[in-house]
Amino acid sequence: MFGMGIGELLVILMIVLVIFGAGKLPELGEGLGKGIRNFRKAAGEPDSIDVTPPRPDSAPGPVAGEPKPDSSGGHSPHSS
């Protein structure tokens, strides 16, 4: 596994055990597991952002029922 044998893995495990202590190992394992699970989930999902440019013949126009902007820069002479 990754070019490491059992001896190297045991040394790394002992160093982690000394640094973090036996009480923190379950929390570290849980956090690592959640991170890997979220990464796999995100890698398997299709992109939710569509980055394709819109076609020129389907340019967005004014939406029906939406008032057209006036030439006063958005300020109506009737507003106070």
Mean pLDDT of 52-61: 71
Distance separating alpha carbons of residues 25 and 27, to the nearest angstrom: 5
pLDDT score for 51: 75
> Cα separation of 12 and 25, whole Å?
13
pLDDT, position 20: 87
Q: Within its chain, how far is the Cα of 32 from the centroid?
A: 17
Contacts of 68 (CB under 8 A, 6+ apart): 62
Pairwise pLDDT comparison (39 vs 42), residue with the higher score: 39
Residue 15 tokens, joined: 């160093």
pLDDT above 70 (res 58): no
Mean pLDDT of the 51-70 span:
66
How far apart CA 12 and CA 6 sit, in angstroms, is 10
CA distance 30 to 25: 9
Rounded percentage of the chain residues whose pLDDT exceeds 90: 22
